[in-house]
Amino acid sequence: MKLSKLIRLDKIVEEILQEDELAREDDCYLIFKVVQRTNPELAGTAFANVMFNAKAKGISFESITRARRKVQHEHPELVHNETEEARQAEQIEYMEYANERHIPGY
């Protein structure tokens, strides 16, 4: 993904997080709002259609959540505390799981 597109994605995610508190709590909702804004022709279509066309349309769910993490790091006021605590607890569980399985990098 080109740098200009990533910068644009960061800005879109930041705007959505500022406008919509639910987007701070729910990554699936945030992804929907980004798709709605960037590809409005897909917003009202079936989930399968969105998934099938994601790559061709340049939609990356991972890039959207990565942008959310970056924006929330830079703007802590856009973090939903309960959701962040749940994400941290889940991350600890994944790390413990990876350590038990001796997965490299954990």
Residue-wise pLDDT tens digits, 50-106 = 888 888 988 999 999 999 999 999 999 999 877 777 777 777 887 888 888 776 765
Judge whether 79 and 24 are in contact, CB under 8 Å. yes
Q: How far apart are CA 98 and CA 10, in angstroms?
A: 30
Quote the pLDDT of residue 53.
86
**Token pair for residue 19?**
């406008």
- Classify 82 as helix, strand or coil: helix
Quote the pLDDT of residue 106.
58
Judge whether 64 and 11 are in contact, CB under 8 Å. no
Judge whether 37 and 12 are in contact, CB under 8 Å. yes
Quote the pLDDT of residue 24.
94
pTM of the model: 0.74
State the Cα torsion 22-42-60-87 to the nearest 10°.
20
Quote the pLDDT of residue 1.
56
